[in-house]
Chain A
Amino acid sequence: MAAPERDDLTGRYTTGHEWDGIKELSTPIPGWWVGVFLISIAVALLYMVLYPSFASTERYYEGALKYSSAEELRREVVAARAAQAPMRNALVETPLEEIEADDSLRRFATTGGQAAFNENCAACHGVGAGGQIGQFPALVDDDWIWGGKIADIRQTILYGIRSAHPDTRQSLMPVFGQILTPEQISQTAAYVKSLSDPTAAGSRASMPGAPLYAANCASCHGAEGQGGRDFGAPRLNDAIWLYGSSQEAIERQITNPRMGVMPAFGERLDESTVRMIAVYVHTLGGGEK
């Protein structure tokens, strides 16, 4: 190695490299830079000691501070719950019919209810509660099979429809395919369809399906097709058809009825959440007094 050479102008050593007569100075890295570098290393080491850093296949080093983001989330959830406690208590203690008259309670319930609805109910009833024709009833309209008062809604959420819960709402439509002939079924369907058509009001009584309806259906669905909420018989004289409004769809439903099942959410959700959802659904536009 060549002896180190000093640059006359700066007094610095050169690296000994030379290009086109220009010699490269060996300028040391600035002290502050080295300092920051070393401090960064120290901070990184400290971090590794304090926080989870090393993992093996089975365990990981938990860090001196025993920090865990899952634990932090759990704490935050507990704290958020605690912060909500007064409102939730008020929600449970206020009579159902009075909740919506209280602005702050209503806002709390509809906001939380929307979140809980989207988490628990939207899978079937859709985000926004629009339902699905042929599958799940819409909850935004004014047609309620089991009643649209807030107490009715709460009960439906709590115990479900045809669920395993002992207090569930229960109803059963007979399989008329084993009782009536296909022709009778088709006549009945035509009559049922006419129930919601005001232009058919005059001719309806003389239809061949009229006596069939009176004998087989009126006991549940009512003489005018007005439905029976006590036993979950849907209205037939309105424009809303859960399983379709065509002649074929109605025939299909008479022959071999479909009946939806809704789980009892009282087993999964606490009373305050159930009430939140009930309030939310009730305020969607079709809620009954």
Chain B
Amino acid sequence: MTAGSGITNASVTTTDAATADRPARAAPAARRPRRKPHLPQPVHGHFRRLKTRLTVIFLGILFLVPWIRWDRGPGLPDQAVLFDLPGRRLFAFGLELWPQDLPIAVGLMVAGAFGLFYATSLSGRVWCGFSCPQTVWTDIFGGVRRLAHRIAKGNEAAIGPLTGAMSAAVAILTGLGFAQWFIDAPGLAGRFLDGSLPGAVYGAVFLIALFTYVLGAHARERVCLHMCPWPRFQAALLDRDSLVVTYRRTRGEPRARKRVALRPELLATPPAGPVTGMPQAFAFAADGTVGLARGATVTAAPLSRGDCIDCGRCVQVCPTGIDIRDGLQMGCIGCGLCIDACDEVMTKIDRPTGLIRFDAEEADPAPMAPPARIGFFRPKAMIFGGAMVVALAAVSFGVANITDVQVDVEPQNTPRYVLLSDGSVRNDYTVRLSHRLPRLDGVTASVEGMPDATLRFTSGDGADAAEMAVGGQRSAANRLLVIQPPLRGDALPPAGPHPIVLVFHDTSTGAELARVDTRFWEPER
């Protein structure tokens, strides 16, 4: 028996001494204290402003882009960007993408992935800190909570319900914001309220709202810490030259109250201008600080301190509630808010800012060294950036080469050829046509490589049809029969497949729409 496992197999009649004088359950002291929800404090500063601006931009995109109009002519939606799910197509300004254009979407995703890798190798989790929807909405819900506190003015009982109601409103607005990418945006809110939308839309809005509420307003940083897979492999993308949020141990330690005297070598360094150390990709470093010689060691004199006064602000403002002073860790989403917080503190105590800053692990460890510059020209960064550029180029190429008419020709293999009673040979093809032309009523076909062949579409009632009716449809399918007149003697081609080209024309304008390489199967004779 395992002591303390909580499971006992002692029989009822015997009293096991060990079991008897031990409490039935582990003592309360053994339990971890219940985790208090971490509610980050507000902060002001450069990164806070950057974050707010980005949030406004992202929300602007989410809510306003679907309102842009784009005239496509009659019968087609006039929304500039619209995911038309029933029509299985995506309108994006002048583009109309179909499921068969999937490679373009894949290319975009590849470009996005490498862009993410690139940004991470340059500057850590900046995506997490500034652009991830989870971060953006967590931030918004933080604002909502503070607003609720302000409105309730100390009325404790009102704060909870008020926060809940306002958060729910934000969540539902978010759901609607997503829905308007899929449904005509201007009428959406009205139709949503009068109940005239399809049930699936209500379901989708409700689901998105629910997820927004649960993940953004409640799970918050726990998503970043426990649910998100990204932090688990981002470490592989970082290296010693990546700019990451760094607490500068050599300058900050040992921590102590402000009353304690500064370390002499820090004192010797005159406070200089701000050392922001933010990635140049944002707005960029001022390196005016006079540093100690590279490699200088910090030997803390007893009863002297570094620049960190252990005020704890950096921890209080951190959205994930971590202590950056413990070093770079998985929980840090690179948002830079602790930099803002610490810079405020440094300003107050008249020390140069930049005790916490974006810096590279490789940087000069000297307490007052200027921050490392962003390393664009490292193999890792260049490979990721290069891959992103290649993917973007491929996407541009794909977009530039989207054809308005796509014709797929599939030779029938059962049977491969049909011998007709007058000795002619017929091959049957299934023709699938889809087009995004404003108008296409019918299509005629001709064949190259077989001089006397005749072609007809089976209209189904057995009658010859010289053209394939498309009508107003965006796609049509039909059977195309290619008939080779009777050949004799020398003219007899060898058995087996022969390459031919089927050419398709617009019946009304005569314009060539597509050429398709396929084969004509000759019989054994």
Contacts and interface: CB of A to CB of B under 8 A. Distances in A.
Interface string B385-422: 00000000000000000000000000011110011111
Contacts of A289: 462-463
Given A140-B428, A239-B486, A13 B3 contact: yes
Contact of B6 (A28, A285, A286): A28
B30 A12 contact: yes
Interface in B4-62: 4-6, 16-18, 22, 26-27, 29-30
Given A13-B4, A282-B462, A239 B422 contact: yes
A128 interface: yes
B30 A11 contact: yes
B418 A239 contact: no
A62 to B, nearest CB: 35
B461 interface: yes
Q: Of B6, B18, B30, B488, which is in contact with the most chain A CB atoms at under 10 Å from its CB?
A: B30
Contacts of B29: 11
Given A140-B428, A142-B420, A12 B4 contact: yes
A184 interface: no
Interface of A: 1-5, 10-16, 26, 28, 100-101, 106, 110, 126-131, 138, 140-143, 196, 199, 235, 238-240, 282-283, 285-289
Contacts of B2: 15-16, 26
B460 interface: yes
Contacts of B18: 1-4
A262 to B, nearest CB: 19
A285 B455 CA distance: 12
A288 B1 CA distance: 89
Interface of B: 1-6, 16-18, 22, 26-27, 29-30, 412-415, 418-423, 426, 428, 458, 460-463, 479, 481, 486, 488
Q: Of A15, A130, A282, which is in contact with the most chain B CB atoms at under 10 Å from its CB?
A: A130
Contact of B3 (A2, A106, A126, A141): A2
A141 B419 contact: yes
Contacts of B460: 100, 106, 110, 283
B415 A1 contact: no
B462 A240 contact: no
Given A101-B461, A289-B462, A240 B3 contact: no
A3 B1 CA distance: 12
Contacts of B415: 126, 128, 130-131, 138, 140
A100 B5 contact: no
B421 A141 contact: yes
Given A128-B413, A143-B421, A239-B486, A1 B1 contact: yes
Given A140-B428, A239-B423, A4 B418 contact: no
A126 B30 contact: no
B414 A126 contact: yes
Contact of A14 (B4, B6, B422, B426): B4
Contacts of A138: 415, 418-419
B311 to A, nearest CB: 29
Contacts of A13: 3-4, 22, 26
B115 to A, nearest CB: 39
A244 to B, nearest CB: 13
A100 B461 CA distance: 5
A109 B433 CA distance: 22
Nearest to B17: A3
A129 B413 CA distance: 11
Contacts of A235: 421
